A and B are shown apart, each in its own frame.
Chain A
Amino acid sequence: DAGVTQSPTHLIKTRGQHVTLRCSPISGHKSVSWYQQVLGQGPQFIFQYYEKEERGRGNFPDRFSARQFPNYSSELNVNALLLGDSALYLCASSPREGATYEQYFGPGTRLTVT
């Protein structure tokens, strides 16, 4: 079975630009969560989506947004990029809603903002 997939693997953007990151969950999983992992730190929760609805949001500015599609794949959008947005962005899927279920992580997208 395929695991969680994310695209692209790496991305370089300039300050002020916009970026879209994509995630495909494990087949049958209806929940997708997004995390930001800055070098040397643990992942920080950004969003959780379940059945196309936002079910949780971390302490991130409104420049960060996401959505989930009918096939349960998801996009994370970041507007007006700042240098501090440089990080590894992780997507995780789980069968159902909630942080209590095991989350299966993808390999991440490495975003560099110059």
Chain B
Amino acid sequence: NAGVTQTPKFQVLKTGQSMTLQCAQDMNHNSMYWYRQDPGMGLRLIYYSASEGTTDKGEVPNGYNVSRLNKREFSLRLESAAPSQTSVYFCASIAGTLTDTQYFGPGTRLTVL
């Protein structure tokens, strides 16, 4: 039981390049989330998926797209990376409602030059 896994762990992009961050969970959770964490700021929600087949915007969705590929996998895509997207990205999952425990992945550290 690996919990929540993320790939890659580190990535460096040039401005304008695109990439997809992958997230998978093996806990049969319904809801999955993408956050970014920046120095001096709390975790901020980018997008979430309350169930397979649905996705919704969070607090900071601009510049990102997501795909809930199946119940296990939730990917985050940067179509044209910008330096402002330099951050640490975390994926999380919840079994049921928001009052349940969120389980986080190990994170992806992204640098955009």
A binds B: no
* A residues whose Cβ falls under 8 Å from a Cβ of B: none
* B residues whose Cβ falls under 8 Å from a Cβ of A: none
